[in-house]
A and B are shown apart, each in its own frame.
Chain A
């Protein structure tokens, strides 16, 4: 009887392992083949001077990483990326929360107004960026045409090519296209807050500010974690917006890390060095994301 039980247990484990292999195997194989393996190959290429034109790159050890330490354009790209990311994280974490709370209070045209905010997210990033390129053209862009029509010619600017304005132009594009998504996550979270809590607060005489600070904000913290991590990823990965609009200009002013990697790999034919930049960025991102998630998880509350 005991051995029968033992045999049954080991058979169950075997069946479980087989089921796991069947269920997870394809996903693991695809993830390994298309994500992990290329990442490992990327690191291998970072140790070479590969240009992409030949199949036999030369091994150069850590020379690319040494060059990276004194690469002023890389650090300029990092600074710009962090500047954009800071604005994006703050905006998508807090402004979209405030907007979600306001939209949650809507009683009329609820679906329509929420839909209007979500609509830009449905557009591809390329379409959104092209749209902004047309809007922001100095001579014929809708923004400047409107300003001129209102006799505010002095406010008409070269939004994309003025180095003081270009960073905010990029931010506005990202904010416009992503706001609906981040707001929707908060709205979904707001729907999960039990009505009893609001009822109790009302009986206790709590005002809107107290309801927000004592009930909604603590209950939204899991989404704050999610949104801030997603916003961080959005900021660090800024690339298509740059390619379509400023192409890194004026000069090198709007180079993000992603655009710099593209510039190195495809405009300068330095794929080995581009791989080194990618690897360092990846390592830095993993560290930042780990710290961010650890800090935010500690602050979450659960019912």
Chain B
């Protein structure tokens, strides 16, 4: 018994604590993305060269957002020393798991100061990520549309023309998170003020205060009706079986004219040897606004140092954070994620690809980004965000629509009920 007890205690004790040795563990969502892997390897090599005797160890989160992994590690007291935070920064900070970064860190690289959370800043500002619509240029040229349509009606008219020419207008899978994209675009671009400092509380804050509801907001109702039309006319039977991978395969395989997907999709063109020209167009409006890209990195969502790093490890964890902005590492990051640089003092400003279609796409993205601008949508600040599960909720509403639900009041009620339920988890 005594031996068994000692073994058990020893085992349990081994669950907590740091990794030991001269190792800094860093999380990254590599999964199967070669661009992300290349970035991590470049980052690791740069850090290890500048810090002899120290190792930067990868903890690959795959395609997950890390929430489950982080909660488990918090429970065992074993968070890696440097972690990607995404929209989880406030949860991690509330639990006292993050080390605040000094303003000098941001100034060193010319990074715009992220919005503070309860007076403190925690994360690197990795880069600017935008969401828009990728289009297969040849198909759109074939129907004579060379400029982005301005409204959803114009998009639908163009989709009908594409169908008449025998093209599949849109790739959309209903099985996973990516099902949410069209609804997310409609809500994010039209429900929120385009100027965050307009003086009026955001829709999120008004929803939380009970001043507005999905069920009674005419723009949300219009968005759902728009989704009905989209699904009824342009989404194939069987889309419910498909997910992100099928969408990507169809679009990269030249089988679809448009893909509602974030700019990171461009980072996969070279590894997948996608050989045709694409453009990246802004999100249309339902209510007469100009089209716009959605900026999804306005909130602080980069890497952060955790309280697992103490003493010398804290210094080395900061060295990892600084190595992120090494020009070669930052360029690899911008390439892999297809993001635009925000660190003014770092020479890397935008992705640079050797693969011609990828480079053409990023140049088109830059051009259109300058022409149409961005809205933050609901990505305003850490204390002004919908519940983290909101994207999943939108995906489920879209699944309902793909599965044939046309009871708009029921769908709006689901949005309200689930929003309130998810808020209790914050």
Complex: A173 Cα to B139 Cα, angstroms:
41
Interface 0/1 of A13-56, CB less than 8 Å to B: 00000000010011001000100000000000000010111110
B242 and A251: CB pair below 8 A?
no
Among A102-110, A116-124, A155-163, A192-200, which stretch is in contact with chain B?
Answer: A155-163
B1 and A269: CB pair below 8 A?
no
B424 and A249: CB pair below 8 A?
no
A251 and B94: CB pair below 8 A?
no
A251 and B396: CB pair below 8 A?
yes
Which residues from chain B contact A51 at a C-beta distance below 8 Å? Answer: 91, 425-426
Chain A: minimal CB distance from B159 (Å): 20
Q: Does A3 contact B (CB under 8 A)?
A: no
* Nearest chain B residue, comparing its CB with the CB of A274: B425
Which residues from chain A contact B1 at a C-beta distance below 8 Å? Answer: 22, 25-26, 29
Known pairs A251-B399, A269-B426; A162 contacts B240 (CB<8 A):
yes
Q: Does A213 contact B (CB under 8 A)?
A: no
A253 and B237: CB pair below 8 A?
no
Which residues from chain B contact A115 at a C-beta distance below 8 Å? Answer: none
Interface 0/1 of B381-411, CB less than 8 Å to A: 0000001110010001101101111000000
Q: Does A250 contact B (CB under 8 A)?
A: yes
Which residues from chain B contact A249 at a C-beta distance below 8 Å? Answer: 174-175, 240, 396, 399, 403
Chain B: minimal CB distance from A125 (Å): 19
Among A92-100, A134-142, A180-188, A233-241, which stretch is in contact with chain B?
Answer: A134-142
Chain B: minimal CB distance from A224 (Å): 38
Q: Does B287 contact A (CB under 8 A)?
A: no
B396 and A268: CB pair below 8 A?
no
What size tier do the contact residues of chain B reach? 35 or more
Complex: A54 Cα to B75 Cα, angstroms:
9
A162 and B176: CB pair below 8 A?
no
Known pairs A72-B417, A269-B426; A250 contacts B387 (CB<8 A):
no
Choose among A141, A250, A264 the residue that contacts B403 (Cβ–Cβ < 8 A): A250
Which residues from chain A contact B389 at a C-beta distance below 8 Å? Answer: 267-269
Complex: A149 Cα to B422 Cα, angstroms:
46
Complex: A26 Cα to B7 Cα, angstroms:
13
B176 and A247: CB pair below 8 A?
yes
Which residues from chain A contact B387 at a C-beta distance below 8 Å? Answer: 268
Known pairs A161-B403, A250-B400; A270 contacts B417 (CB<8 A):
no
Complex: A29 Cα to B417 Cα, angstroms:
43
Interface of B is mostly: helix
A163 and B67: CB pair below 8 A?
no
Interface 0/1 of A232-275, CB less than 8 Å to B: 00000000000000011111110000000000101111100100
Known pairs A49-B424, A268-B422, A269-B425; A251 contacts B405 (CB<8 A):
yes
Which residues of A (185-211) have their CB < 8 Å from a CB of B? none
Which residues from chain A contact B74 at a C-beta distance below 8 Å? Answer: 52-53, 55
Interface centre among B387, B400, B404, B425 (most CB of A within 10 A): B425
A137 and B240: CB pair below 8 A?
no
Which residues from chain A contact B403 at a C-beta distance below 8 Å? Answer: 161-163, 249-251, 253
Complex: A29 Cα to B8 Cα, angstroms:
11
Which residues from chain A contact B426 at a C-beta distance below 8 Å? Answer: 51, 269
Q: Does B4 contact A (CB under 8 A)?
A: yes
Complex: A51 Cα to B68 Cα, angstroms:
11
Which residues from chain A contact B392 at a C-beta distance below 8 Å? Answer: 267
Complex: A229 Cα to B271 Cα, angstroms:
52
Q: Does B421 contact A (CB under 8 A)?
A: yes
Interface 0/1 of A210-229, CB less than 8 Å to B: 00000000000000000000
Known pairs A51-B425, A51-B426, A269-B67; A138 contacts B238 (CB<8 A):
yes
Chain A: minimal CB distance from B400 (Å): 4
Choose among B67, B94, B174 the residue that contacts A54 (Cβ–Cβ < 8 A): B94
Q: Does B210 contact A (CB under 8 A)?
A: no
Which residues from chain B contact A26 at a C-beta distance below 8 Å? Answer: 1, 4
A250 and B240: CB pair below 8 A?
yes
Which residues from chain A contact B95 at a C-beta distance below 8 Å? Answer: 53-55
* Nearest chain A residue, comparing its CB with the CB of B93: A53
Chain B: minimal CB distance from A161 (Å): 2
Complex: A264 Cα to B425 Cα, angstroms:
8
Complex: A270 Cα to B418 Cα, angstroms:
12
* Nearest chain A residue, comparing its CB with the CB of B72: A52
Chain B: minimal CB distance from A276 (Å): 12
Chain B: minimal CB distance from A130 (Å): 13
Interface centre among A141, A163, A249 (most CB of B within 10 A): A249
Complex: A252 Cα to B397 Cα, angstroms:
9
B92 and A139: CB pair below 8 A?
no
Which residues from chain B contact A139 at a C-beta distance below 8 Å? Answer: 238, 241-242, 246
Chain A: minimal CB distance from B348 (Å): 34
Chain B: minimal CB distance from A275 (Å): 13
Chain B residues within 8 Å of A, Cβ to Cβ: 1, 4, 8, 67-68, 71, 74-75, 91-92, 94-97, 174-176, 237-242, 246, 387-389, 392, 396-397, 399-400, 402-405, 414, 417-418, 421-422, 424-426
17 contacts between A and B (CB under 8 A): A53-B92, A54-B95, A138-B240, A161-B241, A162-B240, A163-B403, A247-B175, A249-B174, A250-B174, A250-B399, A250-B402, A251-B399, A266-B67, A267-B389, A268-B422, A269-B388, A270-B422
List 12 additional contacts besides A26-B1, A249-B403, A269-B425; criterion CB under 8 Å: A26-B4, A49-B424, A51-B91, A53-B94, A54-B94, A71-B421, A73-B418, A161-B175, A161-B399, A249-B240, A251-B399, A267-B389
